[in-house]
Amino acid sequence: MFAKTLIEASGLTKSYGSRTVVDGVDLEIREGEVLAIIGPNGAGKSTTLDLVLQLRRPDAGRVRYWTQEPARHIGLQLQSTPFFPGFTALENLRMFAAFYGLRLPDSELMRHLSRCGLEEAARTDALRLSGGQQKRLAIAMALVHGPKLIVLDEPTAALDPRARRDIRELIRSLADSGASIVFTSHDMEEVHKLAGRLMLISGGRVRASGTPEELLDRYQVDSLEELYIRLTDADTQAT
């Protein structure tokens, strides 16, 4: 049985000046899947996500959503999150929930913070949290309205190993509870552990996509790291 498509993007293209940073990307996000987007620094992953989520306007291409109100049903953790200055983590989360029309009691907000490992930091000014704690708060914000689709841009980058493990477990439990998840990562072991499907973007183009096993088999490599090196090497040599 085929899973329903939540988002279907085709021919996405974006240039800055004479540089095309996203070059005809087709992308499909399916219900209930965990999709990893991988690729070198500057490959166009974040820009692609922004185009898919209508945070930036493409020069060409189109995006179709499963719902009339995508913003209400999508939770986003981008690489930088603007927090309300002078407010604690708990207050920031409360205000963020209010954007979605949710008035959540503190007990519920604390539950969200605690599943992101932030119970101790709830009363700390958000801007005084460590980099890793700010990342966890950004993830808590992405989840506060119970979205059907969760988009996480490098959710484990700059986290210590325990925090990384906790966030991976959180991603897994969200997936187990039926959420669809798209994440980017540079950690191939993590991608192999979490993703049901992956897409490799390099030079603004999709170079490969499929399940980890399909790709290992197709390219006759033993690990996703090897696959990554192989495909991004070929790209570097070709350009």
Q: Please name which of 92, 231, 67 lies closest in space to residue 149, comparing C-alpha atoms.
A: 67
Binding flag, residue 155, ligand ATP (CB under 6 A): no
β-bridge partners, 77: 152
Binding flag, residue 47, ligand ATP (CB under 6 A): yes
Binding flag, residue 59, ligand ATP (CB under 6 A): no
CB nearer to ligand ATP: give 43 or 191.
43
Whether the Cβ atoms of residue 37 and residue 44 lie closer than 8 Å to each other: no
State which of residues 9, 25, 45, 188 lies at the interface with ligand ATP (CB under 6 A).
45
Question: How far is it, in rounded angstroms, from Cα 195 to Cα 172?
Answer: 9
The footprint of ligand ATP on this chain (CB under 6 A) covers a number of residues equal to 10
State which of residues 34, 46, 70, 137 lies at the interface with ligand ATP (CB under 6 A).
46
Return phi, psi of residue 26, to 5°: -105, 140
Question: How far is it, in rounded angstroms, from Cα 57 to Cα 44?
Answer: 14
Calculated CA dihedral for residues 101, 175, 167, 70, nearest 10 degrees:
-30
Binding flag, residue 16, ligand ATP (CB under 6 A): yes
Binding flag, residue 156, ligand ATP (CB under 6 A): no
Binding flag, residue 21, ligand ATP (CB under 6 A): yes
Binding flag, residue 212, ligand ATP (CB under 6 A): no
Whether the Cβ atoms of residue 80 and residue 21 lie closer than 8 Å to each other: no
State which of residues 9, 25, 27, 44 lies at the interface with ligand ATP (CB under 6 A).
44
CB nearer to ligand ATP: give 39 or 70.
39
Q: Please name which of 190, 222, 234 lies closest in space to residue 37, comparing C-alpha atoms.
A: 190
Helix and strand tally (H, E) in the chain? 9, 9
Q: Which stretch binds ligand ATP (CB under 6 A): 42-50, 64-72, 93-101, 210-218?
A: 42-50
Binding flag, residue 39, ligand ATP (CB under 6 A): yes
Binding flag, residue 239, ligand ATP (CB under 6 A): no
Q: Which residues bind ligand ATP (CB under 6 A)?
A: 16, 21, 39, 41-47
